[in-house]
Structure 1
């Protein structure tokens, strides 16, 4: 039934392992549903229309933060809101919701209570619009994905479990994990003479390793190096490594601005944004961009540390991707900003 995009799946698998470090993050899929739980234990389950055929694009996102007694958030999205006339109607089993917004609709607490039991025991759900246009959401795989969500958050056997409820105290549910804090250091302006540094630093690079990583697909010369200043003594060098049909990669180094230059290659990959001292790498699973993977790193004054990773593994026709499914999150703090202080009453 399900045919995942192999390229996207490989990329996302690499992201989940790399972003987690020694602890592997949870990424799971079954039939037409997928689950991603990030490093704070917030879990997101996304389901789509059945794979193959002429099905119209439709998707549901179920989000739940970690911790006892946390509520669900459910959103519904159709891929062709231009063909929808007026509000939408969602029906699953014996439950029906009317007046939903075309495009993306959010369910309120009462609507979630009404549809959740029916979602768990039905094969599919339908969305209809005035004029007869219809979308069919597959529910194949939903129970398995929500059970995995319960397991990840320690809810199995508790009253708040979605699939396997029980009498274990709700207090036994795993708590949320705080997102790591990253102090971001924004770069200064370029110094006079920075433009001449690529030619000076280039001989210090391991060009043999560069050629191997890039499959000899790049013009390896000092002219192919770009430079930005990171601090009073450090610079960032970047070199395009390869360009495919719709993906691009680059190599990055941090080097001293005076001899010995001692360039150090980085795991970070992508274009540098001096507004927030970040580097982001984004890759499409397919040309239309219906499945993506991305990673982001920020400069902390010494090196670039991973601050975010996200992506969806199912290529189901939503141009640009239906949802962003974070796999790794962090809390960014401007290192130059004064610390928050509390005044005593």
Structure 2
């Protein structure tokens, strides 16, 4: 994959553009906001950081994909970051030229390049005024970035961050004080607990706990998986008295999921199915589920849960919704973020 990245940090002021209402201000809150229009999508996470991603038009050849990512954190007078990415079978032969409307940036290479404030002011208004932008390498190879949907997506970004009507709005600029812009929301802190080492006899727990599982429910969740038995269960110690049981089952043509339970390591085992889905990583006490939108893997969604000593708490969610030809996905667009603090397991035995 060939990358052309533009990191732009500058305060913004733009001509007023009419679109939409400001009813989504502050809506990022706990779960974040997702929105898409034509060839652009928006993901604002629970801290009110927003990321807008655009691509080549939907009907274009995905063997020559191109994407732009526009990122802005919440708060007054915050800057905007822009990244460009190209892909396809033929890598770009630098230097690369970016052109949109009356603005042209020459000499971009396959690595990070910073834009000065004059360049930022030149490029962003042109993005809002035009239908597409192009990247061209020295060999004449061209990638066409669609700008259809960009205005709507950036207006939604302004709404979520409370910028509509302020001098720093990307769309629909006004004279409201910049101090009225919504502040960032601190990311929740989750104290994750690294599990202790396995104990002698833990391997035998699967056979003992299996009869206590709701086997019909598990088979239904795994499309009546015929291999669901005690031997197919994995057991991982979570605490001095709790273990995690997992069973991997297929999901669709190319995705994979795991059913998970937390159980006591002595009778009554009382296994409880949990929402977390995926493989358990003992190093950071987390479970992550990753799903691709289609076989070539050019769009993904993921969710992570961390063990806090009692159960699994959701600590991250991300995903790009548009499948536009980038193997592995063009960008990771967080919907939910936290700050995870790892700690070693307590030496004091936990209560049942």
Q: Which residue of 2 aligns with 1:240?
A: 248
SS in 1 for 2:154: helix
Q: Deviations over 1:81-112 (max 9, x none)?
A: 85321211000011111111237756454432
CA distance in 2, matches of 1:310, 1:72: 20
CA RMSD of aligned residues (A): 1.9
Q: Which residue of 2 aligns with 1:147?
A: 155
Whether the aligned pair in 2 keeps the contact of 1:74 and 1:106 (CA below 8 Å) is no
Q: Which residue of 2 aligns with 1:272?
A: 280
Deviation, structure 1 residue 250:
1.1
CA distance in 2, matches of 1:61, 1:216: 42
Q: Which residue of 2 aligns with 1:48?
A: 55
CA distance in 2, matches of 1:103, 1:275: 32
Whether the aligned pair in 2 keeps the contact of 1:283 and 1:292 (CA below 8 Å) is yes
Q: Which residue of 1 aligns with 2:35?
A: 28
TM score, norm. by length of structure 2 = 0.87
SS in 1 for 2:225: coil
Residue range with higher mean Cα deviation, 205-214 or 307-316: 205-214
2:321 to 297, 313, 319: 313
Q: Which residue of 1 aligns with 2:66?
A: 58
Q: Could you tell me which runs of 5 or more consecutive residues in structure 2 were left unpaired when the two chains were aligned.
A: 1-26, 346-352
Deviation, structure 1 residue 126:
0.6
CA distance in 1, matches of 2:291, 2:253: 11
Q: Which residue of 2 aligns with 1:133?
A: 141
CA distance in 1, matches of 2:200, 2:59: 58
Whether the aligned pair in 1 keeps the contact of 2:94 and 2:108 (CA below 8 Å) is no
CA distance in 2, matches of 1:77, 1:195: 47
Deviation, structure 1 residue 215:
2.0
2:176 aligned with 1:180, yes or no?
A: no
Structure with bigger helix share is: 1
Map 1:87-98; keep pairs closer than 5 Å.
87-98=95-106
SS in 2 for 1:113: helix
CA distance in 1, matches of 2:61, 2:155: 30
Q: Which residue of 2 aligns with 1:15?
A: none
- Summarize the Cα distance change of 1:108–1:181 in structure 2 as closer, same or farther, 3 Å threshold: farther
2:37 aligned with 1:37, yes or no?
A: no
1:164 to 162, 169, 172: 172
Deviation, structure 1 residue 245:
2.3
Q: Which residue of 2 aligns with 1:120?
A: 128
- Summarize the Cα distance change of 1:109–1:130 in structure 2 as closer, same or farther, 3 Å threshold: same
1:289 to 297, 302, 325: 297
CA distance in 2, matches of 1:257, 1:111: 62
Whether the aligned pair in 2 keeps the contact of 1:75 and 1:107 (CA below 8 Å) is no
* Number of residue pairs matched by the alignment: 318
CA distance in 1, matches of 2:29, 2:158: 22
- Summarize the Cα distance change of 1:257–1:176 in structure 2 as closer, same or farther, 3 Å threshold: same
Deviation, structure 1 residue 270:
0.3
Deviation, structure 1 residue 22:
9.8
Deviation, structure 1 residue 23:
5.0
Deviation, structure 1 residue 53:
3.4
Q: Which residue of 2 aligns with 1:343?
A: none
Q: Which residue of 2 aligns with 1:80?
A: 88
Whether the aligned pair in 2 keeps the contact of 1:73 and 1:107 (CA below 8 Å) is no
